[in-house]
């Protein structure tokens, strides 16, 4: 392969920081993407839920979210980090991981790689350079995973409850628009709705219905913020049988009507 003509993986880098109570949905609400995400926390601490399993995070943590994996994270006033979108994660794991870098040398190496990727993603730079640094980041992560102490791996992800909830959240990620109840999902998984909800509370502190509604709410917020789609059409696309029912549900979750939310978002970021 001629490296001079190779097409680098498509990447995007954004910062993570506290945005106030009104912006909590941007980070905390459950969401999933067709592309992978790599989160690097530089400072602060909080909790993150990935595939239905909640863990604490702190400085020098590296968290990987594979494609179509639901996640959401608390971002407090002291938190700062970066999230790297990886549109081609072919060479990356198919399951989530959470690395806590304890030694100074790998901490510095990771910061250097992230800074280089950020620099090369700036307008006017040759995108191939970002692809090269991303290749080095891939090698860095692979080495850290190989060196990871087995005792540091979260054994809870291999528990029966965590495996069930991971399957449930994977179903939500694919089918949350389909107007399906928790009972419908539970039937697909071969368990009762009560057992499923018990497992969800055990692994994430949320009910099965809470995880489902959270994913729907995030999508509603994105559609209200980023599109001009009529509210009635948004309600229908998310499986609500009527716009008034959607409005009540949205208001219970956010404390404001869909129209109020959209107007405030447009005032801050005009379409």
Q: Give pLDDT, residue 108.
A: 98
- Domain containing 163 equals 159-268
Q: Give pLDDT, residue 3.
A: 40
Residues 132 and 111 reside in one and the same domain: yes
Average pLDDT, the chain: 93
Q: Give pLDDT, residue 152.
A: 65
Q: Give pLDDT, residue 51.
A: 97
Domain assignment present for 4: no
CA distance 121 to 111: 15
CA distance 56 to 43: 13
Closest-CA residue to 79 (of 39, 43, 38):
43
Domain assignment present for 256: yes
Last residue of a domain, one of 137, 152, 167: 152
pLDDT over threshold 60, residue 2 = no
Q: What CATH number is associated with residue 257?
A: 1.10.10.60
39 DSSP β-pair partners: 63, 83
**8 Å CB contact between 243 and 231:** yes
Number of folded domains that form the chain:
2
| pLDDT mean over 110-128 | 94
Q: Give pLDDT, residue 151.
A: 67
pLDDT over threshold 50, residue 9 = yes
| pLDDT mean over 77-85 | 97
Q: 256: buried, middle or exposed (CB in 10 Å: 19+, 13-18, 0-12)?
A: middle
Residues 196 and 247 reside in one and the same domain: yes
pLDDT over threshold 60, residue 7 = no
The residue with tokens 């109020």 is 260
Reported residue count of the chain is 271
Residues 146 and 262 reside in one and the same domain: no
Q: How would residue 86 be classed by pLDDT, with cut points 50, 70 and 90?
A: very high
pLDDT over threshold 90, residue 127 = no
Residues 131-189: pLDDT tens digits?
999 999 999 999 999 998 776 677 888 899 999 999 999 999 999 999 999 999 999 99
Residues 251-260: pLDDT tens digits?
999 999 999 9
| pLDDT mean over 26-49 | 96
Residues 41 and 25 reside in one and the same domain: yes
Domain assignment present for 3: no
Last residue of a domain, one of 132, 152, 172: 152
Domain assignment present for 125: yes
pLDDT over threshold 50, residue 16 = yes
Residues 179 and 132 reside in one and the same domain: no
Closest-CA residue to 140 (of 180, 106, 166):
106
Residues 243 and 192 reside in one and the same domain: yes
CA distance 249 to 30: 16
Residues 19 and 142 reside in one and the same domain: yes
Q: Give pLDDT, residue 271.
A: 52
Q: What is the DSSP secondary-structure string of 218-264?
A: HHHHHHHHH----HHHHHHHTT-S-HHHHHHHHHHHHSS-HHHHHHH
Residues 118 and 215 reside in one and the same domain: no
Domain assignment present for 5: no
Residues 37 and 111 reside in one and the same domain: yes
pLDDT over threshold 50, residue 5 = no
Domain assignment present for 180: yes
Q: Is 54 helix (H, G, I), strand (E, B) or coil?
A: strand
Residues 18 and 138 reside in one and the same domain: yes
Q: What CATH number is associated with residue 33?
A: 2.60.120.280
The residue with tokens 């969401």 is 31
Closest-CA residue to 241 (of 191, 178, 155, 175):
178
Residues 74 and 145 reside in one and the same domain: yes
**8 Å CB contact between 84 and 113:** no
Residues 86 and 37 reside in one and the same domain: yes
Torsion of CA 261, 217, 222, 55, to 10 degrees: 120
Residues 197-253: pLDDT tens digits?
999 999 999 999 999 999 999 999 999 999 999 999 999 999 998 999 999 999 999
Domain assignment present for 190: yes
Domain assignment present for 223: yes
Last residue of a domain, one of 107, 123, 152: 152
């Amino acid at each position: 392969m001629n490296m001079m003509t190779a097409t680098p993986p498509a990447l995007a880098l954004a910062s993570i920081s506290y945005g106030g109570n009104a912006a909590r949905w941007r980070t905390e609400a459950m969401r999933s993407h067709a592309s992978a995400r790599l989160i690097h926390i530089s400072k602060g601490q909080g909790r993150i839920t990935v595939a239905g399993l909640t863990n604490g995070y702190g400085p020098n943590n590296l968290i990987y979210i594979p494609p179509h994996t639901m996640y959401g994270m608390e971002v407090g006033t002291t938190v700062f980090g970066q999230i790297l979108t990886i549109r081609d994660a072919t060479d990356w794991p198919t399951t989530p991981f959470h690395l806590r870098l304890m030694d100074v040398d790998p901490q510095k190496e990771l910061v250097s790689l992230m800074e280089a990727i950020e620099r090369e993603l700036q307008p006017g730079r040759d995108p191939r350079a970002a692809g090269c640094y991303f290749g080095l980041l891939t090698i860095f992560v692979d080495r850290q995973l190989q060196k990871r102490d087995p005792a540091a791996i979260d054994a809870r992800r291999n528990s029966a409850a965590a495996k069930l909830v991971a399957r449930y959240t994977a179903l939500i990620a694919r089918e949350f628009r389909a107007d399906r109840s928790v009972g419908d999902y539970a039937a697909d998984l071969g368990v009762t709705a009560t057992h499923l909800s018990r497992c969800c509370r055990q692994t994430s502190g949320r009910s099965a219905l809470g995880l489902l509604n959270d994913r729907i709410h995030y999508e509603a917020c994105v559609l209200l913020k980023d599109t001009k789609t009529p509210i009635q059409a948004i309600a229908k696309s998310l499986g609500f049988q009527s716009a008034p029912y959607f409005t009540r549900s949205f208001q219970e979750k956010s404390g404001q009507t869909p129209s109020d939310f959209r107007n405030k978002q447009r005032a801050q970021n005009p379409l």
